[in-house]
Structure 1
């Protein structure tokens, strides 16, 4: 929101610890800021200030007094403490041209006040950097206003260096005297430099704060404007401020759109990376399942080969036992025949003996056959047990592998579904990104148009500023002219 109902007021001053002719010193100024009764008699009902930026008044006072007590300057080649009348504190007062009654009753003007305060603090920080230690707001006078306090950073605490007008005048006077000018001429050149520097300082504030807030650079009285001309200028200021506000809003919209687009692009990239990782995990799980299946098949083949080897070993052992039994039987029969040969003459008796030996042979053969049958039975049982054991182990291994494979396949399917969903979301996000980019382009186009209109208004106002400066210079050249800039609304 903007005001468009007045003109800017901003004032710069420096103070020393020793009171000036009007009784103003650093102590008095800080007492007035803190709303001590003996220093703010112009305020009917004093209210403590609000810290808008930086330190409180008491903290500013303590820091100033410590640094001023330690400040040194060089004189005649020796370091000396600074004089009490050296200016060590800079202050800036800026006033908002809408009474508190109107601000409190109109939300739009309260919003305009907040915008003015923010822009003023930003301008002060840009002007003075870390030397700006505090900005206070007073709400117990008719018009809202800010007090800024600046402490010089140099060891000598020379506050006048922070004053644009005094600094420019000192430089101009020194340059004029170096060029051979007398004191009067040099001082006159210094006054011209003072006015030019303060005019530039006021222009800087107007460019950063006044123009965006709809405030005129100068009031109608100093430029001797008619009421109609003043109203026309106010309307133009409101229009310019509106255009600048829209341009700023468009710029912010573009920046926000770009930031959102970047965030969405990053999110889309992250989702795409996760989808690729999920797909790679699924492929890895499938490859691992295939490898495990191949290992199970190899284990089954190994078990079958071991079973066949066990059967072959059992058959070899049975054949060996049978062969050994036959050899032993043959040895027994041969021994019996050898013993019976000399006695064959005994006829039948020997026949009966021979029959006995044959009976023994049959028994030995039967025993050998029984041992072979027992060996075959044991071998068959061992083979059956080995087959059963290998079959169970293979079945268990294959079952475990199939279960793990099913689980892996299920996980892979879940990952695939998740990846498909994320890809759908990515496509939707990409579509929204495209729409956001188009909106950003449209907003940028609007911003360019708004800036072009604002630039046209600014160029129109430049001619008004030139006319105002010419009038101001003419007034300053009059015998009754002064050097005060702005107006006091405090």
Structure 2
């Protein structure tokens, strides 16, 4: 925990990988120093299921990173939406969110604690899903499924409305031409999802009707995206079968959530 917070705080000995480190911007309180003190106090007073004091290596801090690609035009919208989404996802257990803008990609670090029981594994969607599985294979499957769903939710509420694709061309083995067609539709996707997101925040009968319309529109948009993905996969299959493949995108180029 000390090392994690030291790197996020840009303490000199902990950020040697950053050529010109800058102090992080605090987006959600408390400060990282206060967070460290809070987690230490939680660890000191918490016990395990058997009533014993928590081990020194107990998982008492859930930390994550949300990264934004270079050259994006919706960073401010993405940043605000990401903080709001984290607050919705983790509630009052979300303690701190800080912003780093001194590396190649601007990104947010977020931290979640469990003030009631100390151990945070129950707050991690992957570990929480794997806990109920019986065999190692089932645990891996449950973990991966839960984490994909976690990233799907992030894309639907944050990355998609910010004009980012759910997956990059490398993961989908797209040609440059295919990826260009996908990127061409991202601004329209962002506008649609932003509008739907604004509508779903309202209250009242009229707003309920609008939310219903927005949800229907989002489902239709998602269905259309799946159809396009299936069509692109078919094109890729035919290209490979007939030796017509186009040189793929360089790994550094993908834009994804």
User: Fold conserved (TM > 0.5)?
Assistant: yes
CA RMSD, Structure 1 to Structure 2 (Å): 3.1
Report the counterpart of residue 67 of structure 2 in structure 1. Answer: 95
Q: 1-side partners of 2:174 and 2:43: how far apart?
A: 46
Deviations 1:418-475 (A, max 9, x none): xxxxxxxxxxxxxxxxxxxxxx9xxx99x9998876553322113456799xxxxxxx
Structure 1-normalised TM-score?
Answer: 0.43
Once the two structures are TM-superposed, the CA of residue 35 in structure 1 deviates from its matched residue by 0.3
Contact 1:52 1:136 in 2 (8 A): yes
Matching residue within 199, 209, 221 for 2:148: 199
Structure 1, unaligned runs of 5 or more: 1-25, 104-108, 177-185, 259-439, 469-486
- With over 3 angstroms needed to count, the CA separation of the structure-2 counterparts of 1:451 and 1:151, relative to structure 1, is closer
- With over 3 angstroms needed to count, the CA separation of the structure-2 counterparts of 1:91 and 1:488, relative to structure 1, is farther
Once the two structures are TM-superposed, the CA of residue 71 in structure 1 deviates from its matched residue by 1.3
Q: 1-side partners of 2:88 and 2:49: how far apart?
A: 30
Once the two structures are TM-superposed, the CA of residue 31 in structure 1 deviates from its matched residue by 0.3
Report the counterpart of residue 28 of structure 1 in structure 2. Answer: 3
Report the 3-state secondary structure (helix = DSSP H, G, I; strand = E; otherwise coil) of the residue aligned with 1:231: helix
Q: 2-side partners of 1:72 and 1:451: how far apart?
A: 43
- Find the structure with the greater CA-based Rg: 1
Give runs of aligned pairs for residues 48-447 of structure 1, distance below 5 A: 48-75=23-50, 79-99=51-71, 109=73, 112-155=74-117, 157-172=118-133, 176=134, 186-246=135-195, 251=199
Q: 2-side partners of 1:488 and 1:81: how far apart?
A: 45
Report the counterpart of residue 226 of structure 2 in structure 1. Answer: 462
Deviations 1:94-116 (A, max 9, x none): 011125xxx7xxxxx3xx21110
Q: 1-side partners of 2:54 and 2:78: how far apart?
A: 38
Which structure shows the bigger proportion of residues in helix conformation? 1
Structure 2-normalised TM-score?
Answer: 0.80
Q: 2-side partners of 1:194 and 1:238: how far apart?
A: 32
Structure 2, unaligned runs of 5 or more: 233-253
- With over 3 angstroms needed to count, the CA separation of the structure-2 counterparts of 1:39 and 1:207, relative to structure 1, is same
Contact 1:247 1:448 in 2 (8 A): no
Q: 1-side partners of 2:21 and 2:107: how far apart?
A: 14
Once the two structures are TM-superposed, the CA of residue 58 in structure 1 deviates from its matched residue by 0.5
Deviations 1:373-406 (A, max 9, x none): xxxxxxxxxxxxxxxxxxxxxxxxxxxxxxxxxx
Contact 1:138 1:144 in 2 (8 A): yes
Once the two structures are TM-superposed, the CA of residue 248 in structure 1 deviates from its matched residue by 5.4
Deviations 1:155-207 (A, max 9, x none): 2x1111111112211211xxx2xxxxxxxxx1011111111111111111111
Report the 3-state secondary structure (helix = DSSP H, G, I; strand = E; otherwise coil) of the residue aligned with 2:60: strand
Q: 1-side partners of 2:229 and 2:126: how far apart?
A: 20
